[in-house]
Every structure is written in C-alpha cells, then in structure tokens.
Chain A
Amino acid sequence: MSALLSLTGLGVSLAGKRVLADVGFDVNRGEVVAILGANGAGKTTVLRASLGLLRRDTGEVSLGGADPSRLSARERALRAAYLPQRPQAIWPISVEALVALGRFAHGAAPERLSPRDQAAVDAAIVACSLQPLRTQSMEKISGGEKARAHLARTLAQQASLLVLDEPDAGLDPAQSLALADILRAHAAQGGGVLITTHDVALAARAAHRIMIMKDGRVVATGTPAEAITDEALATAYGRKGTLQTIEGKMLVVFD
C-alpha cells in the first residue's frame, strides 16, 4: 500500500543555514505519527517541506504519489489539510464560516454550501464540540475554543492526511485528550495524521509512531515505547526523563 506521505533523505536550508538533514519517514493510512523535539529542532520545517511549501536542497517528498511542490494549491489541499502553528482569523468571522473555509478546495464558498459541504462542516463542528459556538465571532471566543475551531476547519477539508503543527497549543488537559481521540478516529477511518507537539505524553497516547528530532536530524524513531527512551529524551531536550506506564497509560517524568 502506498504511503499518504513519504519523505526520503530530506535536506532543507533556510537563509543559507542547514536546518534539516537526511530526514526520512512515511505516514501510512491508519497511522498517527508525532514529531517531538525542542524548539528549533526542525519540526515545523519538516511539516512545511512535506507540503511543498519550502524549497528543499536534497531528498524526495511524495504526497499521495506526487511531489507536492508540483501540485496546484487546490490539488495539495485535497490531499492534505494543514494547521499552521498559531492559526489566524484576521477578520472576526463566525466559527461556522471559519470551519466552512475548509471546503474551499471543494469549490464551496462559506455562504453557499452544498449539502455535502454542509455535512462535512457539521461533522467537524460536532467532532470538535463547537455546536454552542457555531454563530459566535472568532474574536469573542477563548484561546482553546479558537484552537478547536481551526482544528475543525482542517477536519472539514476531508483530506486523507492531516498535518497539524502543535494542534494542542492552548488546549486544557481534557481538550488535549479529546484531540488525541479525534486524531485516532481519523486514522481509524483510513486517514493519516502527522503532528508536532511539546506534550510527550499526548504524543505517546495519540501516536502509533514517534520521531524525535534534534538540530534538524531524527535521533529516535519507532513506537512510543521504542522511541521515547531515556537517552532520546536527554538528547532531544537536554534533561533527564523517563517514560512510565501506569495502568496502561504512558506518561513522561522529567527529573
């Protein structure tokens, strides 16, 4: 089965400085993959290069069998939905109108949704528990609510692959757990998910596979139990830490 996303030997430079070197991995259908690493490790750059938003020096990227930098914006959007870090709503439109922008690549305008578009928007709103906020202005809701609205926008896009840059930023613990369930559900329906996060426990809970990055390189990869070793944590974050399992739930304790 072909991977939704496949990277091999990826190298990227920004402003003349090498920020990624020899990064390679796949995201398959049914899989949640999480990238961990300290700030500046290159996590966001991996996501952006995966979508063809950055020029790469070396390596190959295949998004559903095609080089994303050669796809039109619309073709790319139909394959992968992207949630950037610190997503914006520049004009204070309603939550519903924001989520409906996820249907852009399907040819829909927020004020004229086909029944199919409307169904996708409704499903995304329900999945992110935004029903009471539908008609609220994006300006008037809390940070966590905003984060959920932007997540709902990416879900409404109905792309096989979700590429989410710190989707848990601003979420409370219960909402983070709900996020993990949403990502798992997307994978269970045959989709794939690639996320970055600083929440190691969330990654361990939500992801089938983990990649730990340090200075633009992958330093550990595998299932959560395989990848999140004491050494990998020490290398990635410069602090001693350990992955523990309590009643089947994984958590990470730093010294």
Chain B
Amino acid sequence: MSRALPFALIAASVTAVCASLWLGPVALDVFARDQATHTIVWDIRFPRALTAWLVGAALGLSGAALQGLLRNPLADSGVLGLSGFAALGAVLAFAFGLAVLAPLGAVLFALAAAALVATLGWRARGAASLALIGVGLSSFAGGLIALALNLAPNPGALADLVNWTLGSVEGRSLNDAALALALLVVGAVLILFAARGLQALTLGEEAAAAIGADLARTRTLVVLGAAACTGGATAVAGIIGFVGVAVPHLVRMASSHDPARILIPSALAGGTMLVIADIAVRLTPTDTELKLGVAAALIGGPVFALIAARLASRRGEA
C-alpha cells in the first residue's frame, strides 16, 4: 500500500485537475472548439486548478516537514508563524497601495519569519521553544494584520485586505501558478535534503543527535523550505489554513508514520485535496462565491480538533 500510494496520488491529482476543467457553475465540454468554451476551460479553469494544486501541495509538504521537525502532528506553517507573516507582507503591500508587490511581500515576509524563527529557535534549542516562538510571531502578525484592517483608508482597500486573508484561487493566472511552482520546487528541494534528519528526530532530539543527525542543518533546511513553500502559497492564494495539518495526518493513516516517507505523498495529497475543495467551492450554489480559505477552515477546523482529541486520549492527557 505505502509503495503504491504516490502513484495513486498522482493519478488522483491528474483526475482532480481534469475534473475541475469540466466542472463548475456550468459543466463544459472540455474539447469543444468554440472560442468561449476554450477561453473558460484553458484561460480560467486550468490556471485556477493548477494554482489550487500547487498551493495545496506546498501547504501539505511544509506541514509534513514542520510536523517532523517539531515532532508534533498539530504543527504547520500556521504554528511557526510563516503563514501569518506571509499574509502580513501581502496586506502591507495592499495597505500602501502597492498591490502588485503583494506576492513579493508575502514571500519576503515568510522568509523573514523563517530566519527569525531559525535564529531565535537556535538559541532557545528544543522543539517546544521553537513552536512557542512561532505562536508568538503568528499572533504578532495577526495583530498587525488587524491593525492594517483597522486603519484601512477606504472601503475598497478594506475589501481587498479581507479578500486576501480569506484565501482564494479565483481568477488566478498562469503567472500565479508559475510563482507558486517556482517556490514549491525550491522548498521541496530544501525539505527533501532534510528528510533523513526528520527520520532521525523520531527518536527525540538528543538520541537523533546521538545517532549522527546534524540537527542544526535539519532545522535550517526545513524552516527555509517551509518558508519558500508557504510564501509562494500565501502569495498567490492568501491564507489557507489546516491543509498542512490535516493532509499529513491522512497520509499517515493510509501509509507510513515515517516522517521522511510522508513528505512527497503529503504534497500530492495536499494538491489533490485543495483542487477538490476548490471544485466544491465552485459548485456550491451561493450568490457570492465561497472563499477556498473559508471552506478549508470549515472542514479543517473540526478535523484539527479531532486529531488533537485523539492525540490527547492516546497520550492520556487531559
């Protein structure tokens, strides 16, 4: 099962992307020759589906890597504060009327958060301290976003900011997909170099070092890789929560608990899940289209609580 899983997930990814070309408010014949259909399928739906897949893959991969690093199945880009900072970067660009720089802001702020976490976390030593530093940064970013919303100069700007924090892949172009892809590739390379270190961390920090793992290297690679993935995802889609928490959990149930072996399946499953979620969002008959980030939170929030409850009962915690 666990060897076949990546192939099954690749097939699922392709199927989901194809389905999203066909499905929507209006079901279209993907192979129709008329210009209108061609435009809708290839210029609107395809870039959107591709972006959704890349964002989901980036969030799933960074979630799996951060969980391995922190040895905590509830960790993801949100916990380390990377998502919050990425969104802050984008929001600041909006607030200063430089919407074109929003993607750049998201990426740079995610990297800044990562560098900060890596530096403070290195001195603090230990996964718990690192997570707490992330929580602090995340809350700080949340506060600054709220401040930007509070001080938004006009209703139009406020709407832009709110849209960004809700998370969506509506109307995304191939340029957006290219940005997400480039950062996903960079992040994936960094994270895959840390895979063996994550495996070693199964034994806890001290024993991982004792079997020969270079923990400083592992930590740096994961934090930078997760920053690249999260920065790219947030830059094109805004904040989409819980994918990074839920997906690695599902992959573990379906295959292996080995933190190295869930990395690639988590990316593939994250992509598939977000494409399916986006199809669901488009098919939901609401007057205003449901935001993908809202749908992810509505499904992901309870899943998060369930994982936490199961974990607590397994460990006999109150």
- A interface residues with partner B (beta carbon < 8 Å): 51, 53, 72-74, 76-78, 80-84, 87-93, 97-98, 101-102, 104-105, 109-111, 137, 139, 153, 157
> Is there contact, CB below 8 Å, between A89 and B202?
yes
> Is there contact, CB below 8 Å, between B212 and A84?
no
> Is there contact, CB below 8 Å, between B206 and A104?
no
Question: What separation, in Å, do the CA atoms of A111 and B211 have in the docked complex?
Answer: 16
> Is there contact, CB below 8 Å, between B258 and A82?
no
Question: What separation, in Å, do the CA atoms of A78 and B210 have in the docked complex?
Answer: 9
Contacts known (A101-B199, A110-B199); A91 close to B259, Cβ less than 8 A: yes
Q: A98-B203, A110-B199 are in contact. List 14 more A-B contacts (CB 8 A).
A: A74-B212, A74-B214, A76-B210, A83-B207, A84-B204, A84-B207, A87-B204, A88-B207, A90-B201, A91-B202, A93-B202, A111-B261, A139-B314, A153-B203
> What is the CB-to-nearest-CB distance from B222 to chain A, in angstroms, rounded to a whole number?
15
Q: Which residue of A53, A105, A139 contacts B211 across the interface (Cβ within 8 Å)?
A: A105
**Chain B residues near A51 (CB, 8 Å)?**
210
> What is the CB-to-nearest-CB distance from A65 to chain B, in angstroms, rounded to a whole number?
18
- The contact size tier of chain B is 20 to 34
Question: What separation, in Å, do the CA atoms of A83 and B206 have in the docked complex?
Answer: 9
**Chain B residues near A153 (CB, 8 Å)?**
203, 211
Question: What separation, in Å, do the CA atoms of A88 and B214 have in the docked complex?
Answer: 18
Contacts known (A53-B206, A91-B259); A102 close to B214, Cβ less than 8 A: no
Contacts known (A109-B196, A109-B260); A87 close to B212, Cβ less than 8 A: no
Question: What separation, in Å, do the CA atoms of A139 and B7 have in the docked complex?
Answer: 28
- Contact flags B246-265 to A (C-beta < 8 A → 1, else 0): 00000010001111110000
> What is the CB-to-nearest-CB distance from A104 to chain B, in angstroms, rounded to a whole number?
4
Question: What separation, in Å, do the CA atoms of A89 and B71 have in the docked complex?
Answer: 10
**Chain A residues near B257 (CB, 8 Å)?**
91-93, 137
Contacts known (A88-B203, A90-B202); A104 close to B259, Cβ less than 8 A: no
- Interface positions, chain B 168-193, Cβ under 8 Å from A, are none
**Nearest CB to that of B70 among chain A residues?**
A90
